């Protein structure tokens, strides 16, 4: 089958759908991935055919993300990102998207888009990978109003996100997705040596988020890590937080590192609450300390704290050394959190993840063709 996957957004959005593209390709499907030009190298390295969507550059998206820091409300930041980045990129690319969709058997998007071909909606899947504030936030997209031509897939663990089974049978939970290749990702030799030669470190990563003062964050976290008698690893990401950290004993700085390799070797993870990082921390069985910066990250953070999987949620613009120190001490020493993360690790690893998503998509394709 010819499948078109459209994803525009941050690195976390792209990596999630690249994982799906790889899995579909391994099943023999022909995949075309529509994405921003600055992700082309990543797509090509994975052997996935791609087309450029929009003209936005890496410098432009990071500038948009930085501009969100002026809005204190995390929901407002999400809205502004849509208006300042996603909407303009889509507008300039709709002719290309429509042309590709006219020749495809199936359409998957990270924006819950539906495309028309003649009098019918192009069959496809709408993927939810962030917990909504309320189910009405999802129903407004109308994905279930097209005679079953749109499949609603939820790339999260059901017990974690919908323990009371209120989402209903129309939403198909697969568990979190991740790349099944254990050799994938960056494993810097300097970091490998650092990990071998001491206690498990506090790992700090903010992924694609840049809506904060990186210098302040690194300064406060470094002091807190030292006060706890811990070692630390700073992973640069889009904000390049590592560049703000002065070389010091017990601190390792890297630009990139494979989470599925690094996190199991950590004492705890300080992060923003994006889906990929949340999933990697849960798979590793390590507690989190959270700095959410947009609405969906706040929802994830609230869930993790409620389940004793995180020891604190902090405002990225207002935090102090003392409270971060307490959160780290709790994360590395409190048996309640150790028990909880180990229990949930087992639950998360039982999910089929992206393989379940591919099973659902293939079954949906067969159903559509029968009709």
Does 111 share its domain with 206? no
CATH assignment of the domain containing 335 = 3.40.50.2000
* 182 within domain boundaries: no
Does 67 share its domain with 55? yes
Distance CA 57, CA 226 (A): 38
Residue 154: the pLDDT is: 97
- Strands 171-173 and 202-205, by their bridges, are unpaired
The answer to whether the pTM exceeds 0.85 is: yes
Question: What Cα–Cα distance (Å) separates residue 135 from each residue in 79, 130, 156, 168, 360?
Answer: 18, 12, 15, 10, 21
Residues in CB range of 229: below 8 A, 6 or more apart: none
Does 274 share its domain with 356? no
Residue 147: the pLDDT is: 81
Show the domain range for 291: 189-349
Does 98 share its domain with 204? no
Does 198 share its domain with 238? yes
pLDDT surpasses 70 at 183: no
Strand, helix or coil for residue 174: coil
Q: Residues 23, 3: contact at Cβ < 8 Å?
A: no
Does 262 share its domain with 366? no
Residue 186: the pLDDT is: 85
Structure tokens, 72? 């204190």
Structure tokens, 218? 């690194």
pLDDT surpasses 60 at 182: no
pLDDT surpasses 70 at 103: yes
Number of domains in the chain: 2
Does 110 share its domain with 252? no
Structure tokens, 272? 């923003």
Does 339 share its domain with 366? no
pLDDT surpasses 70 at 128: yes
Distance CA 121, CA 115 (A): 6
pLDDT surpasses 70 at 132: yes
pLDDT digits (tens, 9 = 90+) for 303-358: 999 999 999 999 999 999 999 999 999 999 999 999 999 999 999 999 999 999 99
* 183 within domain boundaries: no
pLDDT digits (tens, 9 = 90+) for 67-82: 999 988 899 999 999 9
- Strands 120-121 and 116-117, by their bridges, are antiparallel
* 131 within domain boundaries: yes
* 327 within domain boundaries: yes
* 150 within domain boundaries: yes
Does 70 share its domain with 165? yes
* 217 within domain boundaries: yes
Does 128 share its domain with 167? yes
Residue 20: the pLDDT is: 97
Distance CA 267, CA 247 (A): 20
Does 160 share its domain with 69? yes
Does 141 share its domain with 199? no
């Amino acid at each position: 089958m010819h499948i078109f996957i459209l994803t525009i957004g941050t690195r976390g959005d792209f990596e999630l759908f690249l994982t799906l593209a790889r899995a579909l390709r391994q099943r023999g499907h022909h995949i075309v991935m529509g994405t921003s030009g600055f992700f082309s190298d990543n797509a090509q390295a994975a052997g996935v055919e791609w087309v450029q969507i929009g003209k936005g550059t890496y410098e432009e998206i990071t500038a948009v993300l930085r501009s969100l820091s002026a809005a204190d409300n995390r929901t407002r930041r999400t809205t502004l990102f849509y208006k300042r980045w996603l909407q303009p990129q889509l507008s300039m690319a709709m002719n290309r998207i429509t042309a590709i969709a006219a020749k495809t058997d199936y359409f998957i998007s990270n924006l819950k888009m539906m495309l028309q071909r003649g009098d019918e909606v192009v069959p496809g899947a709408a993927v939810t990978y962030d917990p909504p504030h309320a189910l009405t936030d999802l129903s407004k997209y109308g994905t279930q109003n097209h005679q079953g031509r749109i499949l609603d897939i939820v790339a999260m663990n059901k017990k974690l996100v919908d323990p009371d089974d209120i989402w209903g049978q129309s939403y198909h939970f697969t568990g979190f997705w991740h790349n099944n290749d254990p050799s994938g990702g960056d494993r810097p030799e300097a970091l490998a040596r650092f990990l071998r030669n001491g206690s498990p470190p506090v790992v700090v990563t903010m992924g694609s988020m840049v809506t904060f003062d990186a210098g302040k964050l690194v300064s406060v976290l470094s002091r807190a890590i030292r006060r706890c008698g811990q070692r630390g690893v700073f992973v640069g990401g889009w904000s390049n937080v590592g560049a703000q950290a002065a070389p010091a004993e017990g601190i390792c700085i890297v630009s990139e590192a494979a989470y599925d390799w690094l996190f199991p070797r950590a004492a705890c993870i300080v992060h923003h609450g994006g889906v990929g990082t949340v999933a990697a921390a849960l798979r590793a069985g390590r507690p989190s300390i959270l700095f959410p910066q947009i609405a969906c990250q706040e929802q994830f953070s609230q869930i993790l704290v409620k389940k004793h999987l995180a020891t604190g949620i902090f405002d990225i613009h207002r935090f102090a050394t003392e409270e971060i120190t307490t959160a780290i001490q709790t994360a590395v020493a409190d048996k309640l959190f150790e028990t909880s993360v180990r229990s949930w690790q087992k639950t998360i690893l039982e999910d089929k993840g992206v393989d379940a998503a591919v099973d659902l998509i293939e079954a949906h394709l067969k159903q559509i063709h029968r009709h």
